[in-house]
Amino acid sequence: MTAVYNEDTIKTLEWKEHIRKRPGMYIGKLGDGSSQDDGIYVLLKEVFDNSIDEYMMGHGKKIDVVLDKGSIKIRDYGRGIPLSKVLDVSSKMNTGAKYDSRVFKKSVGLNGVGIKAVNALSEKFVIKSFREKSVKEVEYSKGNVIANKNIKQTKEKNGTEIFFVPDESLFNNYHYLEDYIGEMMKNYVYLNTGLTINFNGKKFYSKNGLLDLLSENIKEENRRYRIIHLRGEDIEIALTHGNQYGEEYYSFVNGQHTTQGGTHLISFREAIAKTIRDFYKKDYELADIRTSTVAAISIKVHEPVFESQTKTKLGSKKIAPDGQTVRSFILDFVSNKLEVFLHKNPKIAEEIQKKIQDSEKERKAISGIKRLARTRAKKANLHNKKLRDCRIHYNTKKKGAKESTLFITEGDSASGSITTARDVKTQAVFSLKGKPLNTYTHKKKVVYENEEFNLLQAALNIEDGLENLRYGKIVIATDADVDGMHIRLLLITFFLKFFPDIIKNNHLYILQTPLFRVRNKKNTVYCYSEKEKQNTVIKLGKTSEITRFKGLGEISPSEFKYFINENIKLDPVIINKEDSISKMLDFYMGKNTPARQLFIIENLEKEEDIIV
């Protein structure tokens, strides 16, 4: 039957209804907090960006952030919202001061949408403005006003305080990870030198901006030369080379961490390569120049244009409406400042050239192996033998790339169960054959010589970096026994050694599967720990049937469907920036030293999560 299309079909939604019905338009994906780009972190960022904009305009040198289980409270010490407008700025779309360029010249939020989205998507949202010894407070629930309190007198300093609790009916079983929020706070202070952020008792402060960022992310012993740090009007860059494979960039616009880059990052990479070629007067391969690069760029743009409301990718072509292009602005700055720096620092210039030549030698040494490896991959019939791919061929140019998942599993039974249970549109499965090689002591050519790693690299499409990565999530799905844990470590070692950006950009996860199934005639509960099992037995009764899953292969496809779709539990693999990757790999994957033996003995009885 054909649906009737008439006047009754046309509907107009209120602002809060539209946000709740189409949250992806405002905050990207919902998620549960296991990924750094999940919606609950976008909510935090939307609120925090307003406080940052106040600081950038010269008001307030401190911001307090409190995470208490699932709630967030952010208090700044800026000017405070004009009291008569507190209700409007938190509940009327396209309302805010960011439209007045005299007040906010180069801010992050420009559309007057972000804080309203937080309001509509929160179970509880409370906004307070402290201004000239008075306070105005409004409380909401899911965008609806619960209490619009009268203006009162206060002794509090000027500023704004926002408290919110994300709506669990939208963000199912969500949880904030302090590591992710900590990284966010660090980036904010790197980009706003002199600002102090207090987050759950931790103080974040930076004196040297992007120099501090790179100093923390690449330890001194891993740098080929001291960090190059250059500043100009509306631009700051930091640059060095390490000993790792791949490239690592941190890009920012108006204090916003543009995790997906954009016009400024493309121009920055181009500018570095052009300057180096011109300086040495040699047409070096781009790959040889860029391999092992660790760099950061921050620019300020007048009324920036981002490719989405979440502001992770810059689309602006010009620095200002009547100004030069972003590309020419960055090319001019890098070409001039970096070239002058290299002339003044010949030892660093010599070290850069030596690093490029080393990369060139290794590239040429494995070029023949790479050709054979590609031929081998084709003969292995990659997409049928090792990889059971998604229905759509994803790549970064297609919207689906971020939403796709690749499960890496071992054994025919486990691979078969996941393959049968998966969502064929967005989930793919790569089958390992036994334990992979410990790659810690090997060079890059092992990636092409070893069939498993060669095919895995081809499946991910990461030979030339992450730009064409075919899957947003790479999930290691192994048994929760000693052998399964060992396979996890070997795979993590492979990525840390050759493709660290996979982990640093939060693409690698561990699949958590239940250890027990407890059921009676009415209920079935899956438990992920011994304690959870004991509590479930008490709840369902001692006569309940208890099944211990020894491996993934024992879980039926129908049950797997439950664990890898809407109820999936993923643990992100996170690199603590305080740790040196080379030292960590040497300790865990190098020779069996007395220190490692002692560590194993001391931790044998512990059941703690170790974050890599």
What are 73's strand-pairing partners?
66, 163
Phi-psi label, residue 521: left if phi above 0, alpha if psi -120 to 50, beta otherwise: alpha
The number of beta carbons lying within 10 Å of the beta carbon of residue 206 is 22
Alpha helices in 281-345 (DSSP H): 286-290, 326-344
HSE-up of residue 186 (Cα within 13 Å, Cβ side) = 18
H-run or E-run covering 249: strand 248-253
**Rg of the chain on CA atoms, in Å:** 26
pLDDT of residue 492: 92
pLDDT given at position 396? 43
pTM: 0.70
pLDDT means per 10 residues, the chain with 612 residues, are 57 74 82 86 91 88 94 95 90 56 44 78 95 94 93 94 94 90 93 94 94 88 92 93 84 84 90 95 92 91 71 72 83 95 96 93 79 63 68 54 85 82 90 86 84 88 81 90 86 89 88 89 88 91 88 80 81 70 66 67 54 41
- Partnered with residue 474 across adjacent β-strands are 406, 508
Say which amino acid occupies 33.
Answer: G
HEC sequence for 462-529:
CCCCHHHCCCCEEEEECCCCHHHHHHHHHHHHHHHHHCHHHHHCCCEEEEECCCEEEECCCCEEEECC
